[in-house]
Structure 1
């Protein structure tokens, strides 16, 4: 390409650029209605509006309250584990022969055992039910025993076995959001916040702890590792 041709091309390119700048400054470059620029502009506006709405929704979720948990419950639990490490409470020495309500009248126990034996033979082929609804239909079997059976016999943690010891200690430690009146109320309150992987050990931990330390009428608070962080501890 000759020097003259190069000069012509540069001159033409400059004129195009200058003309375009001039039109842009004078407003001659207009967007076509419904054109790509309009679509882009409208799309950006809608996107901004959507982002704003989504942000407002997200901001609203931050006001949600965190799930309730008792104060110091992890330290309570760790201290109880330490106090139960010897496993020398009465409950640790009991066999199947003592896994029942000792306050029940003997004649009722015999009656329930006979009836249950017949039901198991006739309806379950000599085995036991593998679910809580069927277990609690058996004479003398309540929710506590049903959940213990599910855990021990079927290796299925269906719930926390709550007896009078677990019920009493849970209220003393304030492991329930508000005071509960029955073991079944306590079970539901505990299961509402307690991690499921802890459900299996709670019964034997608290029952033995209740037999040796946190007794019904004369709790041994001075010997308890939780004495300084227990809401129900007797202070001297």
Structure 2
């Protein structure tokens, strides 16, 4: 049964009565179908078997469960609205979902790394005395960063480009990884790509070979991709060499501000900022050098660069990293052997030595006593016939 088409509502026209002027009469008139806007809704109900999952958003599921053995069918309600009048068509440009993607899209620009605060952080009181005390303690301690840090990775390379690339690779592997593990992974990676860490060797190497070499570091799967992608970027955009700016370094996959500043210091001997890792972030907050305390290493870096003399920027990272590896540990710091605990460190803990009396009992290990009684028996020798 087809749906009935709804007619447009009649229009009332007012006019005065010819018999009495105070009386108003109303006449009805049909509207012109060519100008009237009349909407009619037709509901088309069809029953189709459940054939495709693409139309699930159009399906109306009946509330009552189907009877056992009955075939499940879907009732699709399609609502259509028609206009009986001719309306002006307006062209509307819809957003193209594919715009900005694909080969024609411009490369994504990395955000510039900030170098200073609008309002510089003031220098903390007695910071120089604290710094010199840490430096004195570090002169008597050999930490893992001194023998296995990122500065050691370049020593096995002869070509200057390979030296700089080895430094960058070591920094990329060092995040969330101890220096001992990073140093071993760099050595295994060098052997896996042919004995020298070069951009071309990493590009030519299989991803599985790189993954096997660095599988002991944290997030090794992701770092495998980062190293391959970074090597390709260095070949295509930087003539197979490490770039000389922080922003260019941070445009490489897997490279952050800390790695960028340290790479420039070690690879190019450029002092453009402080490399802040978890050790520098933790120790400077324990010393109370940030008011209020910083929440991220980047906040710590900007605060330190506000007041720390620039000649100390290259050395503060290995200084505090080694101090954090050996004395100011993340958990249970060795305040008992730290010279800052006498009044320079507000976070120093008072170490109470406990004396525990031990009573040593000696057990008799000789075992049970056994009394042995030996009975002696005299032998009676019979006399021979010839004896007197």
TM over 0.5: yes
Q: Within 1, Cα distance between the matches of 2:300 and 2:260?
A: 16
Instruction: Report the structure number with the largest CA radius of gyration.
Output: 2
CA shift, 1:98, in A, is 5.0
Note if 1:191 corresponds to 2:245: no
Q: Which residue does 1:217 correspond to in 2?
A: 331
Structure in which a larger fraction of residues adopt strand: 2
Match of 2:244 among 108, 130, 147: 130
Tell me the SS of whatever aligns to 1:169.
Answer: helix
Tell me the SS of whatever aligns to 1:217.
Answer: coil
Q: Which residue does 2:20 correspond to in 1?
A: none
CA shift, 1:139, in A, is 0.9
| Alpha carbons 2:121, 2:303 under 8 Å: kept | no
Match of 1:71 among 108, 121, 125: 125
| Alpha carbons 1:167, 1:186 under 8 Å: kept | yes
TM-score, normalised by the number of residues in structure 1 = 0.69
Match of 1:164 among 265, 278, 284: 278
Gaps of 5+ in 1: 1-65
Note if 1:148 corresponds to 2:262: yes
**Which one is further off, 192-201 or 98-107?**
98-107
Match of 2:345 among 212, 230, 234: 230
Q: Which has the higher contact order (CA 8 A, sep 6+)?
A: 1
| Alpha carbons 1:177, 1:189 under 8 Å: kept | no
Match of 1:82 among 115, 129, 136: 136
CA shift, 1:72, in A, is 1.5
The aligned length equals 171
CA shift, 1:122, in A, is 0.9
CA displacement 1:166-222 (0-9 Å, x = unmatched): 000000011222200011110011111111111110000000000000000110011
Give the 3 Å change call, closer, same or farther, for CA 177–90 of structure 1 in structure 2. Answer: same
Structure in which a larger fraction of residues adopt helix: 1
Tell me the SS of whatever aligns to 2:305.
Answer: helix
Q: Which residue does 1:8 correspond to in 2?
A: none
Tell me the SS of whatever aligns to 2:340.
Answer: coil
Q: Which runs of 4+ in 1 moved over 2 A?
A: 95-99
Gaps of 5+ in 2: 1-119, 154-168, 178-216, 352-388
| Alpha carbons 1:84, 1:209 under 8 Å: kept | yes
CA RMSD of aligned residues (A): 1.7
